[in-house]
């Protein structure tokens, strides 16, 4: 394999799909050596096959607003690779959703899901529908319209969607209700379900908890812990909420959290009732963080800024792709940050990653560090298959051990002669090998 040549061909085939091409290049660069040392991969055309999705479903979702007007949104499901299990990955409802974004997310999901050691292939879907500012009834009608089309293409052994940005418990409920009606079945076709209709405990917290568990393992390689450390987190969504809870529990102080309007800095730490207040703000359907500084006057609000210009020990980007750029990385390094662990998918730009790695910070890439969410989805699927529910302690113990195993896999494939661990390389190689070997075992299909 020649990465530059392959990338040139892909750029010609998929012009303008910037995020997808970015995600593919990173993986190919990591696996290049191991790929070329093992000619069976080239012989089976693994790279040419793995970079293209098995299929992409595109459909429209017409729905009626509360004002009686008809709206039409575009929707997709990218079924990327199912060599090791049913397609698995979230649904994103956000105005920025387009095919390039979903292809990058579906591609990353192949390797992330492989790293969890659970039998899940890679997929992703979503729509440019914006749940923000919509009434519950509007969200329900949209979700019902979305599922009216998608239900034919998913199933517990075929494709199992879940949440992502803009898709949480409420949306999963509306989607599940429509599936159940159309298919006349109660099966585990979605994860992130409610606790009394097939959901798993810990799934809401799992991505954030898992991210902190992964960072804890990285810190331990330097004989460090979360105890007494300061933490900055971006986004105030599902992932950042779980990360803030767990980091606080482990003795760290979360001093900055951002929303789309800017970030708040609270030297006293954002914990307890303050996290509850953040949840209230989020439930307001605006996702703003500014009012926090009015309620807790020791805190300061920085309009339109990112939390990466604060001096912190640990940074957890948990909002969206390409949100932490080269300048942000330089600031974090300059201010003495020792660890960056990605709760979001691909939040650091390639230039930022270069700065972070050149300065040898502990850096956990999303496909390893945020795999706790989908891992717990896998545990939800197991419970659905058995028609049993595990306790909170059982699920959390399994999640913790999966995150430790992912960390070990990254170390196994990412450690160099000096003892430094390149977690990007480690995660990409470990995730790739399992899927590639499965594809070889199963022939050219």
Is residue 428 within the footprint of ligand NDP (CB under 6 A)? no
Region near ligand NDP per CB under 6 A, out of 38-46, 55-63, 193-201, 315-323: 315-323
Burial of 405 (0-12, 13-18, 19+ CB in 10 A): middle
d(CA 199, CA 129): 25
Nearest alpha-carbon partner for 409 in 199, 260, 217: 217
132 touches, from ligand 2IT, ligand NDP, none (C-beta below 5 to 8 Å by class) = ligand NDP
Mask of contacts with ligand 2IT, 268-297, x by CB under 6 A? ------------------------------
Instruction: Please give the residue whose beta carbon sits closest to ligand NDP in the complex.
Output: 237
Region near ligand 2IT per CB under 6 A, out of 19-27, 226-234, 373-381, 392-400: 373-381
Q: What residues from 152 to 181 belong to the interface with ligand NDP (CB under 6 A)?
A: 163-166, 168
Is residue 307 within the footprint of ligand NDP (CB under 6 A)? no
Q: What residues from 409 to 438 belong to the interface with ligand 2IT (CB under 6 A)?
A: none
d(CA 315, CA 240): 11
Region near ligand NDP per CB under 6 A, out of 14-22, 257-265, 271-279, 354-362: 257-265
d(CA 198, CA 183): 16
Is residue 287 within the footprint of ligand NDP (CB under 6 A)? yes
Is residue 199 within the footprint of ligand 2IT (CB under 6 A)? no
Beta-strand (E) ranges in 97-147?
A: 122-127
Strand, helix or coil at 439?
helix
d(CA 139, CA 145): 10
- Report the b/e string of 142-155 with b at 16+ CB within 10 A: bbbbbbeebbeebb
Among 237, 364, 365, 431, indicate the residue that binds ligand NDP (CB under 6 A).
237
Number of residues that bind ligand 2IT (CB under 6 A): 11
Catalytic residues: 124
Q: Pick between residue 173 and residue 373 the one whose CB is nearest to ligand 2IT.
A: 373
Q: Pick between residue 373 and residue 414 the one whose CB is nearest to ligand 2IT.
A: 373
d(CA 381, CA 120): 10
**CB within 8 Å of 402: residues ≥ 6 apart:** 116, 117, 118, 210, 371, 372, 375
Is residue 370 within the footprint of ligand NDP (CB under 6 A)? yes
CB 61 within 8 A of CB 130: no
89 touches, from ligand 2IT, ligand NDP, none (C-beta below 5 to 8 Å by class) = ligand 2IT
Is residue 90 within the footprint of ligand 2IT (CB under 6 A)? yes
Helix (H) or strand (E) holding 72: strand 70-81
238 touches, from ligand 2IT, ligand NDP, none (C-beta below 5 to 8 Å by class) = ligand NDP
**CB within 8 Å of 204: residues ≥ 6 apart:** 168, 169, 192, 238, 242
Among 239, 247, 255, 281, indicate the residue that binds ligand NDP (CB under 6 A).
239
CB 126 within 8 A of CB 146: no
229 touches, from ligand NDP, ligand 2IT, none (C-beta below 5 to 8 Å by class) = none
Is residue 309 within the footprint of ligand NDP (CB under 6 A)? no
Nearest alpha-carbon partner for 389 in 398, 397, 380: 380
Among 51, 143, 162, 219, indicate the residue that binds ligand 2IT (CB under 6 A).
162
Q: Are strands 70-81 and 55-64 parallel, antiparallel or unpaired?
A: antiparallel
Among 21, 320, 374, 427, indicate the residue that binds ligand 2IT (CB under 6 A).
374
Among 53, 89, 242, 317, indicate the residue that binds ligand 2IT (CB under 6 A).
89
217 touches, from ligand 2IT, ligand NDP, none (C-beta below 5 to 8 Å by class) = none
Nearest distance from residue 241's CB to ligand NDP, in Å?
Answer: 7
Among 19, 108, 323, 396, indicate the residue that binds ligand NDP (CB under 6 A).
323
d(CA 92, CA 105): 10
Place of tokens 């001096």: 311
Q: How far is CA 315 from CA 76, 231, 294, 346, 356, in A?
A: 32, 6, 25, 14, 12
Binding site for ligand 2IT (CB under 6 A): 88-90, 112, 162, 164, 191, 345, 373-374, 377
Binding site for ligand NDP (CB under 6 A): 132, 163-166, 168, 207, 234-239, 258-260, 287, 318-320, 323, 343-345, 370, 373
């Amino acid at each position: 394999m020649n990465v530059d040549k392959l990338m040139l061909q892909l750029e010609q085939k998929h012009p303008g799909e910037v995020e997808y091409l970015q995600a593919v290049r990173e993986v190919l660069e990591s696996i290049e050596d191991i790929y070329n040392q093992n000619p069976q991969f080239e012989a089976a055309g693994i790279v040419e096959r793995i970079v293209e999705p098995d299929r992409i479903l595109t459909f429209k979702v017409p729905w009626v607003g509360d004002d009686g007007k008809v709206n039409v949104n575009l929707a997709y499901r990218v079924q990327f690779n199912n060599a090791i299990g049913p397609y698995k990955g979230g649904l994103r409802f956000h105005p920025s959703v387009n095919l390039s974004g979903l292809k990058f997310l579906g591609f990353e999901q192949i390797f992330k899901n492989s790293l969890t050691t659970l039998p899940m292939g890679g997929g992703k879907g979503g729509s440019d529908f914006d749940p923000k500012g919509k009434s519950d009834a509007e969200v329900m009608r949209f979700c019902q319209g979305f599922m009216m089309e998608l239900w034919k293409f998913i199933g517990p052994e075929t494709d199992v969607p879940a949440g992502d940005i803009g898709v949480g418990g409420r949306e999963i409920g509306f989607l599940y209700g429509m599936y159940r009606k159309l298919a006349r079945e109660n099966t585990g076709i979605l994860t992130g379900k409610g606790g009394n209709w097939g959901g798993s405990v810990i799934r809401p917290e799992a991505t954030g908890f898992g991210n902190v568990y992964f960072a804890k393992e990285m810190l331990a390689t330097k004989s460090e812990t979360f105890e007494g450390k300061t933490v900055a987190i971006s986004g105030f969504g599902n992932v950042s909420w779980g990360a803030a809870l767990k980091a606080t529990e482990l003795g760290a102080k979360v001093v900055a959290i951002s929303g789309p309007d800017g970030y708040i800095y609270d030297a006293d730490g954002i914990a307890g009732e303050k996290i509850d207040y953040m949840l209230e703000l989020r439930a307001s359907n605006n996702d703003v963080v500014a009012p926090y500084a009015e309620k807790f006057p020791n805190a300061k609000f920085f309009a339109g800024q990112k939390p990466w210009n604060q001096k912190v020990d640990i940074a957890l980007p948990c909002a969206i792709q390409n949100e932490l750029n080269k300048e942000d990385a330089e600031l974090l390094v300059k201010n003495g940050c020792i660890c960056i662990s990605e709760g979001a998918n691909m939040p650091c730009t390639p230039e930022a990653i270069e700065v972070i790695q050149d300065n040898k910070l502990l850096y956990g890439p999303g496909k390893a560090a945020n795999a706790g969410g989908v891992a717990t989805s896998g545990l939800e699927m197991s419970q659905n298959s058995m028609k049993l529910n595990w306790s909170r302690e059982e699920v959390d113990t399994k999640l913790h051990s999966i995150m430790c195993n992912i960390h070990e896999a990254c170390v196994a494939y990412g450690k160099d002669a000096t003892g430094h661990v390149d977690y990007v390389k480690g995660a990409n190689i470990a995730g790739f090998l399992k899927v590639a070997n499965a594809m070889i075992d199963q022939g050219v299909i």
